[in-house]
Amino acid sequence: MKANKKNWYDYFWIWVILYFALGFFNILFAWLGMIDFLLPLLVAVFGGNKWFCNNLCGRGQLFSLLGGKLGWSHGKPTPTFLISPWFRYGFLIFFLIMFGNVLLQTYLVFAGARSLKQAVSLAWAVHLPWDWAYTAGQVPDWAAQFSFGLYGIMLFSLLLGLLAMVLHKPRSWCVFCPMGTMTQGICKLKNKAEK
């Protein structure tokens, strides 16, 4: 039987591993996470479809690979409450508040109202010291603060996604992923407007 032909973008899961590895050694690489924020939105706005989720998302690919091919997933059905709109939109709001807080902390450092905190926070609950990953003075303090904040959001969401993958189907994270919820909303609005 002929094997499925792979596309170049089927290997974006490597990017996810690389991103966290780079940020472990130098937190400034966390800025690259903005690509993961902006690209899905741009594809949805201009394409009006979920092409990013279906083809380009390294995180989704990684969950498929670990949970599917490597068998790390129990494969249980995704709980229905995770699929419900109230949970998906509620989680999106929670995610946006976290991102808003990163922007606020960045601004406070920029304005000199507080000093740079060299730690990675997971949803305000866990604060991981991360001071080896940045040498003071490399960039303005606010730019470093944004890196720590963004890396925290990326790491927190990855851990949640891995947990969902292990407990349920490999891509259970995708049903309540904030980026997925936002892109779906954009596509719906765009398609409605075109009709």
* 98 is an interface residue for ligand SF4 by CB under 6 A: no
* 33 is an interface residue for ligand SF4 by CB under 6 A: no
Contact 144, 36 (CB under 8 A): no
Instruction: By CB under 6 A, name the one of 28, 66, 92, 179 that touches ligand SF4.
Output: 179
* 170 is an interface residue for ligand SF4 by CB under 6 A: no
Distance in Å from the first CA to the final CA of the chain: 43
Distance separating alpha carbons of residues 153 and 167, to the nearest angstrom? 21
Residue nearest to ligand SF4 (CB): 180
Q: How far is the CB of 31 from ligand SF4 (least distance, A)?
A: 19
Residues near ligand SF4 (CB under 6 A), total: 10
* 59 is an interface residue for ligand SF4 by CB under 6 A: yes
DSSP at 114: S
* 53 is an interface residue for ligand SF4 by CB under 6 A: yes
Which residue lies nearer to ligand SF4 by CB, 53 or 150?
A: 53
- E strands present in 37-187: 119-122, 126-129
Contact 154, 102 (CB under 8 A): no
